[in-house]
Structures are given as C-alpha cells and as structure tokens.
Amino acid sequence: MKRIVTIQDISCIGCCSITVALPIISAMGSECGILPTAVLSNHTMFSDFTCADLSDQIEPISDMWKKQGITFDGIYTGYLASKQQCVQIAGFIERFSEKDTLTVVDPAMADNGKLYPAFDSDFPMAMAEVCRRADVILPNITEASFLTGMPYRTTYEKAYIREMLERLLELGCGTAVLTGVSFDPGRLGVVYLDRDGKEFSYFTKHCEQSYHGTGDIFASTVTGGLMRGLELGESLALAADFVVDCIEATTGSGEPRWYGAEFETVIPKLCQMLNDRLKEKTVPGE
Ligand code: PXL
C-alpha cells in the first residue's frame, strides 16, 4: 500500500483540510499520515475562529520520521498557516522527496477574488515557493491570479486560461492544473498544462450551490487516485465527478450544512467509481 503524508490544518469543525483528506484518501486505499500545521476551532470562513499554530512541531516530527526511516510515496499539501510555515514546508518537501515521490500542492489560500481572512498580500509569494517544488499544483483561478500576478477575471476566453497555465508553469512545478474553469454556462471543470506542452481538460455540470471545502475534497480525491495508479487526467475527472455528487448530496439533504459539503454518504460511490476505473485499466488476461 502506498503511504502519503498530508500537510494542512485541522479545522475541528468545517469539513475541510485534514478531516476531509484522511477519510477520502484512506477509503481510496492509501495510508494517510498527517502533519498538522495548525488546530482551528473551525475554518476561517466562519465569523470567528481560534487558531493554534503548530509550526514548532514541524521540525521535531520531521526529525523523528527521518530517525525512524519513514518515507512517503506522496506528499500532499493544503492550507498552510503562515509565510514562515510555507518556508518550512518547502524544506520538508526537499527533505522527504525521493526519486518517485509525487508532490501535490493545493495552494489553498483564496477564492472568489479574495485571499482568505488569515492571509496578507505577501502570503502568495511564500506559497509560490511551495508550488515551485511540486509535481502537480491545483490552484483555482483566484489563487492562480495571486500566484502569477495576472488580473482575476470571472469571464474570460481560452487564451486567458492558457496564459495563466503557462505562467503557473514558470513557477517551476511539473504540471499546472486550474480548477473551477468555465467556458460555457452550466459547465465547470479543470484544465491542465504540463512541461511537455500537453493540455487536458474535463468539464462537468456547474452546480448552482457552492460549499467551502470542496477544493479539499477535490485535491484529496486527485491525490488518492494518483496514488492508486490513475493518470492525472483520470484522477481529475474522478475528483470532479465526486465533487458534483457531494454538492448534490448536500443540497438534497435538507440540512443546514452551509460550511462544508456532505462527502461522507458519497464515499461508497467514490470507491465504486475508483474500482471501475481501475478495472478499465487492467488489460484482460493480465
Ligand atoms: O478549505 C480550505 C480551508 C482550509 N483550512 C482552513 C480554511 C479553509 C478555507 O477557508 O479556513 C483553516
């Protein structure tokens, strides 16, 4: 079984970051270690929150893992609590990356044209240093505009997305994925560009409702799929389909869970979809 470590906060309530990554990656069949960056009472889109920064634990935990000979097939980072922590995590990636370690960075720091409340305007530059060390980065258009300095737009042509992807690759990552891209009303999806010039896109239904934490559900599913041997395009498509199912489950539940999407009841379907896709990849007779 593959082992990954996910590096992000524990938001005790809010259905995001580690409370989403752990169940999804485990259900998809990989061991999920955690390196918590902070403990928050709830995520920062609530009207108020407590936050205990765990930066001082990163060094001793990493040293202990080195001492015990722990290695990772994947490193997946999400919400980081401070600029200083971005520097620490960039160092962690360098220290724990081996030849075949896959590093996925979700620069979770902004949405809808704005940085999250805990960050100031020079945070994206620190996050860019984490992106530089990634095989795959998964920004939304807001995050990508902060990372590249390009203006944030809600309506755009294909050329805007292509330029954004090219500028993201200039950060140094292997493949730049843009999430939340829409060229047609009613369709929403992802587009990627890799260093060989390969472009890929996948679109699905644009749900009217949106929920916090769907980016974390998406990134966790992408990582879980990659760890099981799906191609990047297959993992992105699986993750996009799963997020739509989670949003529909949340909207359909009639419960006031505004702060996060209901992924729990959809996990059995995710496992089914993953197994179907893995089976399709197995050549009969092999
Ligand atoms: O889902 C992203 C996220 C993760 N962690 C914390 C957040 C957010 C988004 O607001 O506040 C603490």
- Walking along the chain (286 residues) 10 residues at a time, the average pLDDT comes out as 98 97 98 98 95 97 98 98 97 97 98 95 98 98 98 97 98 98 96 98 95 96 98 98 97 89 97 97 70
Residue-wise DSSP of 5-25? EEEEEEEEESS-THHHHHHHH
Q: Of all helices (H) and strands (E), which one includes residue 234?
A: helix 232-253
108 ligand 1 Cβ < 6 A: yes
Global pTM exceeds 0.95:
yes
Residue 177 and residue 164: Cα distance in Å, rounded? 10
Phi, psi of 272 (to 5 degrees): -65, -45
Residues linked to residue 76 through DSSP beta bridges, in sequence order:
6, 104
Evaluate: CB of 218 within 6 angstroms of ligand 1. no
Can you tell me which atom of ligand 1 is nearest the CA of 212? Answer: 1
3-state percent helix, strand, coil for the chain, nearest multiple of 5: 40, 20, 35
Neighbours of 149 (CB within 10 A): 9
Ligand 1: residue whose CA is nearest its atom 2: 213
Residue 25: predicted pLDDT: 98
Q: Is 10 in the pocket of ligand 1 (CB under 6 A)?
A: no
- The per-residue pLDDT for 129 is 98
CA of 132 to the centre of ligand 1 (A): 21
- The dihedrals phi and psi of 159, each to the nearest 5 degrees, come to -65, -35
Is 140 touching ligand 1 by the criterion CB < 6 Å?
A: no
| Nearest residue to 232 via CA among 271, 185, 179 | 179
**How many Å apart are CA 144 and CA 140, to the nearest integer?**
6
Which residue's CA is the nearest one to ligand 1's atom 7? 43
pLDDT at 97: 97
Report the separation in Å between the CA atom of 11 and the middle of ligand 1, taken as the mean of its atom positions.
8
In whole angstroms, give the CA distance from residue 5 to residue 71.
Answer: 9
Pocket test for ligand 1, best of 43, 210, 243 (most atoms within 8 A of CB): 43
Q: At 283, is the secondary structure helix, strand, or coil?
A: coil
Burial of 269 (0-12, 13-18, 19+ CB in 10 A): middle
| Cβ of 58 below 6 Å from ligand 1 | no
The pLDDT value given to residue 257: 84
Measured from the CA of 81, which atom of ligand 1 is nearest? 12
Nearest CA to ligand 1 atom 12: 43
Contact criterion met (CB below 8 Å) for 191 and 176: no
Give the integer Cα–Cα distance in Å for 281 and 279. 5
Ligand 1 centroid distance, CA of 67 (Å): 32
